[in-house]
A and B are shown apart, each in its own frame.
Chain A
Amino acid sequence: MNWGFMFKSFPKLLSVLPITLYLSIIGTLIGLILAILIAIGREKKIVILTPILNLFVSVMRGVPTIVQIYIVYYGLPRLIYALFEHGANSKAITLSSMTIGVVAFALNSSANLSEAIRAAYHSVDHSQYDAALSVGMTPYEAIKRIVLPQLIPNFIPNFTNVFLDIIKDTSLVYNIGIVEIMGKANIIASFAFNYLEAYLDALVIYLIVCFIFARILSWLENIIRRRVFA
């Protein structure tokens, strides 16, 4: 065990933490927006659209993240090409690996977050909505003033799970050439075969990052819960 190496490598790994954070935070935020739309589409029971969304969610949940990343990596440029580039002198599309990563994590988290939103929505008794309509609120006001404030604190714990999973899954994107924490660990370790040391550095960073986010989100949940219910 080379403690000196581990100590020296730690700041090098830390220097790519912004990449991990960028991928997970931006990916999850875009995923959240998609998830809201997916959840509404699935709850509204719209012909054709709802079954498609159901299928999308099942597929995303039934396929390993690494497979999703590869599919986006190889598939997305072709899809964009097919959709937008016609004619003889159109060029091939190049997308940066970071863009691919963000898209992959947005899609991946959108499926799980839409499930989390639906669970939180169903945790609010339907009669709360009925009561709001019965006093003359419009459906929009009823959702905004009565249902949403009760839904959000119920949503945060599941959101936290999904978000932490995404942080951990960013360790997969070194496979498509992004040098985030795991990629950096691999590179540093390979010079002198200090794999254990480098991976222990990575372990410490993931652990601390996930711990901090878990604490922040649970603190947020408590604040909101207290403001909403007491």
Chain B
Amino acid sequence: MPLLQIKNLKKKFDKKNILKGVDLTINKGEVIVIIGPSGSGKTTLLKNINFLEQPTSGEMNFKGHLINLQKLNKQNELLLRRHTAMVFQNYSLFKNKTALENITEGLIYGKKMDKNKANQIALKELNAVNLSDKKDSYPAQLSGGQQQRIGIARATALDPDLILFDEPTSALDPELVGTVIDDIDNLANKGQTMIVVTHLMSFAKRIGTKILFFEDGQIKDSGTPDKIFNHPDNKRVEEFLSAIAQDK
């Protein structure tokens, strides 16, 4: 059984259709990479998966729980949020919390862990990203790269079934991108299930088990990295890829 299955997800803002019926299935251990032009609705799609935005309509099956997306309730919201995690483009570390507390907040309030246990896990996570010496630093005292690696540690500490990454490297200085990508790659190698939105095509090829080309609120093409990057069905993919290549 797939971990997450979404059928005909639609999202309107005001009267504008932003997501126009998205179907998506992800199995345990898969890494789905979403590529596509700016404004196509990629962030909106991720936020509709953990219900940071209220979907307009559609159906979801998450670990066997059937959810009517038109009628969300608190249980549905907490179910998704307590079994998934998200890594944000602008890091979004809690500015009023230390690096360590950024990780423990979710453990204590999301996972209902006691404080000692949460601290232990958080220290281990900080260690894993080589930032244990920064445990008492506030986000304002950390570089973008350090913040994003803590953002990733905050997500993995929750031991989620699924992590949603929204352009995790696009706010970083070029020289800091490498370490963050390596952290995400390590996670993928450990079998972490994730959905990653990115504009870095080499990164997409490296970690994706499946690539979705997203445009105008719809999945226009999908397949293995080899298929999408070498012989896509939709010629818009080629145009998009060559436009991106020219940016570089």
Chain A interface (Cβ < 8 Å from any Cβ of B): 125, 127-128, 130-138, 141, 145-146, 149-150, 228-230
Contact = CB atoms under 8 A, between A and B. Distances in A.
Contacts of B94: 128, 131-132, 146
B110 A135 contact: yes
Nearest to B97: A146
Contacts of B52: 130, 133-134
B141 interface: yes
Contacts, number: 71
Contact of B96 (A133, A137, A150): A150
A136 B111 contact: yes
B92 A136 contact: no
Given A127-B90, A230-B141, A136 B81 contact: yes
A132 B105 contact: yes
Q: What bracket does the count of chain B residues touching chain A fall in?
A: 20 to 34
Contacts of A128: 92, 94-95
B150 to A, nearest CB: 12
B220 interface: no
21 contacts: A125-B90, A125-B92, A128-B95, A130-B92, A131-B92, A131-B94, A133-B50, A134-B50, A134-B81, A134-B86, A135-B81, A135-B105, A135-B109, A136-B78, A136-B82, A136-B110, A138-B109, A146-B94, A146-B96, A146-B97, A229-B138
Contacts of A141: 109
Contact of A137 (B110, B138, B141): B110
B37 interface: no
Contacts of A135: 81, 85, 105-106, 109-110, 154, 158
The 10 closest A-B pairs by CB, nearest first: A136-B110, A135-B106, A131-B92, A134-B86, A136-B82, A127-B92, A228-B96, A149-B96, A137-B109, A135-B110
